[in-house]
Amino acid sequence: MKKSRPLNGTSSQRQPNPIPTSFVPYLASVYGDRMNFVERMMNFGFTWAVQATRQRWIRSEHHNLVLVSNKVNPGPTMPNMIEIGGAHCRPPKRLPKNLKTWFDKTGAGNVIFFSMGSAVSSNNFPKQKWQAFVQAFQRVSRTLEVRILLKWDGQVEELAEDANFLVLPWIPQQDVLGHEKVKLFITHGGLLSSQETTFHAVPILGIPVGADQMMNLKRISDADAGKMLLWGDITTQRLVSDITDVLTDPKYAKAAKQRSAIMKDREEEPAAKGAFWIEYAIRNHGAPHLRSAGRFLPWYQYYMLDVYMVIFVAFYLLFFIFKTSILLMIKICGKIVPLLKEKKE
């Protein structure tokens, strides 16, 4: 059995799982499930390049049962791919005393929650970019009358004396996201963070730094449940503009609530579903019957390239024979017609 993981073009290759590159994007791409011609060409190239160059590695990762953390994009799956995305999501618990006290002091005001997860720390965060965040936070705290909670493992001297800010090295993320006063989550857009903010219906301002984060945030922004800001575009003015937009335009909160409702509307809780299929595999000796026969095929057979090649060659030969026959008939006619004219004369 394989641990839970996101489903996308890359992980699909490892099982194997069908990969329609027309709407299943490559893991590290910024494409959604509706690509234009150029994007489909690029996605096709990336996916096939990985499939061809990682054949030996891919073939070693076939498993009887795979618990999928999330289907990033709708697409075909084999019977051994079990979706349990959001299994870790839960209702919020009571906040620690220091956080509860701070939230209570906000009165009727809203809160922005900033956390880049474990992807970025104060040690590797560029100083210039961090200053842009600090200045943007100071500005929106005054203009929008919001308070800002930051998960940050370093000192922020500029904010230390400001009661509108609270900086902590660790924060119970789901408990904070589930608080009614949190109206915006600024995050790197990792898979679990994206699922948690969707579960708790909080709009996102996502800043991807790698892996599947761009894909996660692309899907959220396409649904109007948040916005994505690329790392190279970070400026104080751009941050203020995007934060203001998400907080003041009701479409983002509305879309976040719709996505949350869809996520929670399931026939079975994901944790219970995962437990059932694990027990099913145990009862049925690993459930090898769920595995695709595609695991035995090299990539060119899996994609029917050998068959397409034979068809192409067959059509080419037919075309060549037809063309040769026409040219031969024209040549023969060119010799016969003058002879017939001579006889008539």
Give phi and psi for 190, each to the nearest 5: -60, 165
pLDDT of res. 7:
53
Mean pLDDT of 18-29: 78
Q: What are phi and psi of 7, to 5 degrees?
A: -105, 125
Q: What does the pLDDT look like over 152-162, one tens digit per residue?
A: 987 787 777 78
Choose the CATH number for 97-264 among 3.40.50.300, 3.40.50.720, 3.40.50.2000, 2.40.50.140.
3.40.50.2000
**SS3 call for 292:** coil
Beta bridge partners of 206: 187, 228
The model's pLDDT over 281-333, given as tens digits with 9 standing for 90+, comes to 999 999 989 888 877 787 788 878 899 999 999 999 999 999 999 988 888 87
b or e along 133-165 (b: 16 or more beta carbons within 10 Å of the residue's beta carbon)? bbbbbbbbbeebebbbbbbbeeebeebeeeebb
Res. 72: pLDDT tops 50: no
> Residue 174: its pLDDT value, please?
96
Q: What is the residue-averaged pLDDT of the chain?
A: 86
Q: How far is the C-alpha of 167 from the C-alpha of 176, rounded, in Å? A: 14
Percent of the chain with pLDDT over 70: 88
Q: What is the pLDDT of residues 47-60, one digit of tens each?
A: 777 776 765 555 54
Domain ranges of the chain: 2-87+269-296, 97-264, 304-344
